Amino acid sequence: MQPEYDLILASSSPRRRDFLTKMGVCFEIVKPDADESVRVGEEPQAYVRRMACEKASLVADLHPHDVVLAADTVVVCQGQILGKPVDREDAKRILRLLSGRTHEVMTAVCLMKDDVEREIFAETRVTFAPLSEELIDTYVASGESDDKSGAYAVQGVGAMFIDKVEGSVSSVVGLPICQVREALAEFGIKPRTVDASQF
């Protein structure tokens, strides 16, 4: 019996879920129980690639005959990985660090099915305008920085900080969607027509 879904999304990210939904891709969510600690001396690109593949592998072991898609995104400033803020004071610290600087957003994607594996890596450079303390305080108080890598959301009000983007905007949100669409086609998964009025 064929499953009623095209793939398994090894992520609980609402942004990745929304991208796939808007493409008309049917999926089930299985969140991997992965240790996301950075290894000593591990470079950001190596880390994000490893995490995407480990997450995909954990879920593929449970669902070996399904297409599994996993992804990981990190914000990197001056060689330092900036994760999700631990609290709102930490969010302010991160935004002060990003203020007036260019940082990188790295997203790695791994697709697996049976013995087939496909990896995608995208790096986007994002330049912030200088931010005042008042603006940082107002933004953090909105709650949008909570649970966001780098303490901002490019698809939200955080876009007002951004002076320039070089690369894939969708990758900053969580999936380099053009490359993902092309990779999914290799597994026989294509976008369906959807009713855009529901979004």
Q: List, by residue number, the catalytic residues.
A: 72
* Both tokens assigned to 194: 């959807």
SS3 labels along 151-173: HCCCCCHHHHHEEEEECCHHHHH
* Both tokens assigned to 66: 């399904």
Distance (Å, rounded) from C-alpha 66 to C-alpha 194? 23
* Full DSSP string of 22-82: HHT--EEE-------PPPTT--HHHHHHHHHHHHHHHHHHHSTTS-EEEEEEEEEETTEEE
